[in-house]
Amino acid sequence: MIGFNEQAFEKTYTAAVTKLGLFDAMLNVFYPLFHKIGVMWVTDNLTPVQEHFASCIIKRKLMAAIDGLPLPTKKKTFLLLLPPGEYHDVSLLLANYLVKSKGYQAIYLGQNVPYENIDSVLIETKAQFLLMFYVNPRDAKEVYEEMTEHIFLPKDVKFLVSGNRQIMTYLAEKKNCKVLHSPHDL
């Protein structure tokens, strides 16, 4: 990654996925890599473009794996998105893969989705689950206020949230949502 060597990165990715499977490779190889990248950013031993290089390859691989899954056979539908100001979508792509690999419908909206658009999508798709990730550090109370101003969850929709611990804890107390501490919880 540091030297922008795509062949070496692809070789490492393929070896990890072949040995561990996609899910375990993400949890045991690539999530720790992203953690280490965070540490390297703080110590100025890495530039943002090096992280973008690695995450783009991993996202491309996740998208290809998602495309290779069979069509959903189960009725439950998950709406997956990153709220306003959130752009780190590797975990959301992994969630999309997990949902679809279990045979469920997944509606993947991606990054930076405006709160005011979520209600109409929930109504139109009749999704039973709303999954959002908060990665960036933000004031949890602010997030809650923005969300409740725009999102009116039907009682039959289960709200799932992951990412930033402070935001997850605050939302769990206020919004009656299920906190996902790891991909295993999904």
Q: Are residues 109 and 138 in the same domain?
A: yes
pTM (predicted TM-score):
0.92
Strand, helix or coil for residue 75? coil
Tens of pLDDT, residues 26-71 = 999 998 888 888 788 778 778 888 888 999 999 999 999 999 999 9
- For residue 60, the enclosing domain spans 6-67
CATH of the domain at 114: 3.40.50.280
Do residues 135 and 171 both lie within one domain?
yes
Task: State which of 42, 67, 92 marks the end of a domain.
Answer: 67
Pick the range with the lowest mean pLDDT from 12-21, 42-51, 71-80: 42-51
In terms of domains, do 39 and 57 share one? yes
90 and 47, same structural domain?
no
139 belongs to a structural domain: yes
CB burial class (10 A; 0-12, 13-18, 19+) of residue 33? middle
> For residue 72, is it within any domain?
no
